[in-house]
Amino acid sequence: MMKKLLYISVLFLLLFSSCKTKRSLVLSSPQQVIKSDSSRFSDTLGLPSALSPLLTFDQSDLRNIHRHPVKRPAEKPKKEEASRPKKQIVKRGTKITSQTIDVSSAYKGVSRMKVYHFTHRDVPDAFEGLRIAFISDLHYKSLLKQKGLEDLVRLLNAQKPDVLLMGGDFHEGCQYVPPVMAALAKVDTPLGTYAVLGNNDYEACYEDIVREMNRNGIHLLEHKVDTLHRKDARILLAGVRNPFDLVQNGKSPTLDLSPDDFVILMTHTPDYAEDVPITHSDLVLAGHTHGGQVSLFGLYAPIVPSRYGQRFLKGLKYNSNHIPMIITNGIGTSQKAVRLFAPAEVVMIVLHQLKD
């Protein structure tokens, strides 16, 4: 009862404080696309300082959000500290916009698509407009059943991806491995389908998964790097083997790559991108958190399977070296077959070359 009263009290404080502060948010660029599911910009939306350690919120790309100056005798941050993140991001030549599309009425088992337009200096001309589909955490059959799996394949094919990337945790039982791999193999991908594995996959049915992936032409990247070719250009895909075992896998497969290549790193958990150097990675794709799976209006998740709590909960994030990460809510569920304010999603990424 006390916990419920605490959650209700905090929720009222949050709603009251956010009403006061939303008016002071302005967009610095009309090109940035921001939807309602990703509009929680800060972990201190006017809350009393005593509550700040209790609640943290989704910090989707803060670079284009500014507050109106408030006249108060507060000490100004040091110029070097305030400008450092912006300078490093500009130096990397990265621009990212996103939008959310509701697909719940047309596809069972998937509520929405998150579409990211990812612009980077290292994207070759030949890969302009490349469409990457990214899915993770199917946990078949949990909340995702047979009809949902069929609709997932139908949705992916409707998006006409050039390549499909998968972030692991495919099953909730070894008997489900063959049907889920056979279904995913039906996604038409001219440049192939690539995957890493999650903690569930290493805990059970590992041999079955490897066998079924080989049988269905799915490329498993366990501390390996593969190459996508278009004309005479290339981009690199790197995958992490069991990112929870840093004793064996604590050296990123990207370390020996060229800084001139465009490199996508797949890891089941976003923690890996913070725990170890992932030098030469231009984009990280991760899952595992389920967006909290159960959250309070999408603002706070009581349980997040991450050492960093709410920091890498979902959406577009950056590690301490300002390397962008897209963390998907995933599709299925673990423990309990329920989602609350953490909708199942498919991620689509469209690549562009930054030319100015």
CATH number for the domain harbouring residue 306: 3.60.21.10
In a domain, 240, yes or no: yes
In a domain, 199, yes or no: yes
In a domain, 69, yes or no: no
Distance CA 305, CA 297 (A): 19
φ and ψ at residue 117, rounded to 5 degrees: -100, 110
Residue 97 scores a pLDDT above 50: yes
Distance CA 353, CA 356 (A): 9
**Residue 99: exposed, middle, or buried by beta-carbon count in 10 A (0-12, 13-18, 19+)?**
middle
Distance CA 124, CA 152 (A): 30
Confidence of residue 92 (pLDDT cuts 50, 70, 90): low
Select the highest-mean-pLDDT range: 10-19, 70-79, 284-293: 284-293
Mean pLDDT in residue range 136-160: 97
Distances (CA, A) of 254 to 77, 183, 238, 352: 35, 30, 7, 21
Higher pLDDT pick, 58 / 142: 142
Q: Where are the strands (E) in the chain, listed by range?
A: 25-27, 65-67, 94-102, 112-120, 131-135, 163-166, 193-195, 219-220, 224-230, 233-239, 263-266, 283-286, 315-318, 324-327, 345-353
Contacts of 105 (CB under 8 A, 6+ apart): none
How are beta strands 345-353 and 112-120 bridged, if at all? parallel
Residue 186 scores a pLDDT above 60: yes
Start-end of H helices in 164-217: 177-184, 199-203, 206-215
Counting every residue, how long is the chain?
356
Mean pLDDT in residue range 158-179: 98
Confidence of residue 5 (pLDDT cuts 50, 70, 90): very low
Distances (CA, A) of 247 to 71, 241, 251, 276, 321: 50, 12, 9, 11, 22
What percent of the chain is predicted at pLDDT more than 90? 71
What's the number of domains the chain is made of? 1
Instruction: Give tens-digit pLDDT for 296-313.
Output: 888 899 999 999 999 999
Mean pLDDT in residue range 106-115: 97
In a domain, 8, yes or no: no
Residue 228 scores a pLDDT above 90: yes
pLDDT at 182: 98
**Unique residue bearing structure tokens 């389908």:** 193
Distances (CA, A) of 148 to 96, 180, 318: 30, 11, 31
pTM of the model as a whole: 0.76
pLDDT at 32: 37
What percent of the chain is predicted at pLDDT more than 70? 74
Query: What's CA 203's distance to the chain center, in Å?
Result: 23
Distance CA 204, CA 181 (A): 15
Name the nearest CA neighbour of 268 among 251, 247, 244, 246.
244
Mean pLDDT in residue range 273-284: 98
In a domain, 60, yes or no: no
pLDDT at 313: 96
pLDDT at 299: 80
Instruction: Give tens-digit pLDDT for 13-49.
Output: 444 343 333 333 333 333 333 343 433 333 333 334 3
Contacts of 212 (CB under 8 A, 6+ apart): 177, 178, 181, 182
pLDDT at 96: 96
Task: Print the domain residue range for 342.
Answer: 90-353
pLDDT at 232: 94
Average pLDDT, the chain: 82
In a domain, 26, yes or no: no
Distance CA 183, CA 296 (A): 34
Instruction: Give tens-digit pLDDT for 57-71.
Output: 343 333 343 334 434
pLDDT at 34: 35
